[in-house]
Structure formats: C-alpha cells, structure tokens
Amino acid sequence: MYGKLILVRHGQSIYNEENRFTGWKDVDLTEKGIFEAKSSSLLLSKQPIDIAFTSNLKRAQKTLDLILNELGIKNLSITKNEALNERDYGSLVDQNKFEAAEKYGKEQVQIWRRSYDISPPDGESLKMTLERTVPYFKNKIFP
C-alpha cells in the first residue's frame, strides 16, 4: 500500500523574523508564523492524515499542533525525533545573517551555507545533515 508524504516547513520563527541563524536553537513562532501554520491547514483539508513526524524543536511541533487543531484532528500518532531537526549552524546560531557576513565575509558565509560538505564552525554541513536525516526517513517514515 502506498501513502502520500506531505512535508510542511514550520511557520516563521522569532529568529526568522530577526534574520538570525537558528539551527537547533529552540525558538518559538511569531504571530505571522502562527497565522502561516493555521493557513496551511486549508491546503491540507482534503488530505487524509494518519501519522505525523516532527523534529524536537518547538517551532515545528507548534506548527504541527496548530495545523492539526485547525483540521480538527485529535489522537493522531505523532513521533518527535531530533534526527528531523533542521541543520545545526554551530557557532553561527544566534548571529544576525548580515552581521555574520560582515564578521566572516559574505563569501565565506555563503560557502558555509551552500556547500555540500563544508560546515560552519562547530556545525553541520549539508552532507552531515543528510547523513542524519536520510537514514531516519528510510527506517522510520518510508516503511
């Protein structure tokens, strides 16, 4: 039997609004983020949802909770796991992105953000993020 995978990004977080590197920093949603989460439920209203997975970060969990509440879905099996957390930006976390570009150089910050196998200081490269998330997907979500 085949199912449908629905991916939803969390609503705007406080650090998104402040243009800061967030990574694993556990920041909450803004009012706009709450509105975005609730609004996304309109797009999902005709989709059957029988299980949900989310990261350990409250912005993702709150987005999921808001969507489920808007849809009137209760008693759903929800699995939370840090393997689904977004990329860890290490030492860049908390820094404003423009200020980080001034401090380290715009080109260097772009290398850290967009290179496949180069990580920011004390953080994860995209490759490392995939090595963390893909096995979880294959072993827990895909089956």
The tens digit of pLDDT for each residue in 4-18 reads 999 999 999 999 999
The string of pLDDT tens digits covering residues 88-116 is 999 999 999 999 999 999 999 999 999 99
Alpha-carbon span 25 to 143, nearest angstrom: 30
Domain boundaries of the chain, sorted by first residue: 14-141
Rounded Cα distance between 127 and 104, Å, is 22
Active site (catalytic) residues: 10, 86
Q: What is the CATH class of 14-141?
A: alpha beta
84 near 53, Cβ under 8 Å? yes
